[in-house]
Structure 1
């Protein structure tokens, strides 16, 4: 687990008007809460948070939060709200964490290798690009990397097939599909058939005798 430094200031004014005014001055309304922490209203710097998001994404982010005039807290990014166009940060939820307590973290899914089924024309379909894991903060994986090299067309990796060790659990009630290799689409098959027919037509035309005058 990597702790990213993040600065914050406390704020007293709340409501839509105060939040809008804060955003107009390059600030982001935020709140910090936890099992042993009373909610604290904060403001974050847009430039600083935007740089962090661009470099690290939004999944599984843990911060060493420095509150101006206060102590340093360890928090995780629980939620980040953006406008309809995904261009402006509207609000951030930060959860204070205990390093010895299990937390639920969203982790990206990545693949490694080239599927045998893809080599035969199949299509790799990632059904779940993120998964929730339950673990202590220090054991949080940066990504769930799945080897797909042995997957043939029609094969799949389900959630119960994924083993992250004794320290990390993926909670689930239904054994849902995470990754699968599907057959080529009908349009691709039709396109291939048309290409073959075109080639046969060209060969027949080339072999046909020329008309005698």
Structure 2
């Protein structure tokens, strides 16, 4: 679990115009909330935040007006076309505190021989873990799985200190039998020939 230090600035201007001005300065408007405290509106350095968010569930160490706070990203808004950060919601956490997060699922291994398809029912797995020791991902082996097989959430091996926060019988992946392509019906061929003539 990586911890990234960012310098935050308090902000008192709100609304679209203020947000645009902040983004023009290569900064990102953000809100920090949690632990029953009032939300704190801040700005964060855009490039450093973008790099930090490449790590799923990154732990951010924020210096807000001389006070150090730990937070994790809860909601990230990006521009749908250009992909730049528009706004970030951060959740305050404390060392030793348990939080619920979504971990990316990394698939490894080869399916049983034959043309079978692997369907990803879940791409992330909701787990409860210590805020300062959030794993980057969970690994799931599909080695030897055949058509009709599936892997449930309870079958996924979790890192130490991590528990499921989703129904243990939820399907994570399932193996489907590949469907052979159907030959076009004879009537369809006749119609095509008539259309060409």
Q: Scaled by the length of structure 2, what TM-score is found?
A: 0.83
Alignment partner, residue 210 of structure 1: none
Residues 171-186 of structure 1 mapped to structure 2, 5 A cutoff: 171-173=165-167, 175-186=169-180
Whether the 8 Å CA contact 1:128–1:179 is kept in 2: the answer is: yes
Give the deviation of 1:155 after TM superposition: 0.6
Q: Does 1:90 align with 2:86?
A: yes
Alignment partner, residue 142 of structure 1: 136
User: For the residues of structure 1 that align with 2:72 and 2:21, how far apart are their CA atoms?
Assistant: 26
SS at match of 2:164: coil
**RMSD of equivalent CA atoms:** 2.0
Whether the 8 Å CA contact 1:37–1:96 is kept in 2: the answer is: no
SS at match of 2:53: helix
Q: Which has the larger radius of gyration?
A: 1
Structure 1: gaps spanning 5 or more residues? 191-213
Would the alpha carbon gap of residues 165 and 26 (structure 1) be closer, same or farther in structure 2, given more than 3 Å must change? Answer: closer
Q: Does 1:66 align with 2:92?
A: no
Higher relative strand content: 2
User: For the residues of structure 2 that align with 1:53 and 1:33, how far apart are their CA atoms?
Assistant: 18
User: For the residues of structure 2 that align with 1:44 and 1:140, how far apart are their CA atoms?
Assistant: 22
Alignment partner, residue 200 of structure 1: none
Higher relative helix content: 1
C-alpha distance after superposition, 1:74-100 (max 9, x if no partner): 111111111232522111011110122
User: For the residues of structure 2 that align with 1:147 and 1:173, how far apart are their CA atoms?
Assistant: 20
Alignment partner, residue 17 of structure 1: 17
Structure 2: gaps spanning 5 or more residues? 184-197
User: For the residues of structure 1 that align with 2:159 and 2:42, how far apart are their CA atoms?
Assistant: 37
User: For the residues of structure 1 that align with 2:134 and 2:80, how far apart are their CA atoms?
Assistant: 30
Q: Scaled by the length of structure 1, what TM-score is found?
A: 0.77
Runs of 4 or more off by more than 6 Å in structure 1?
A: none
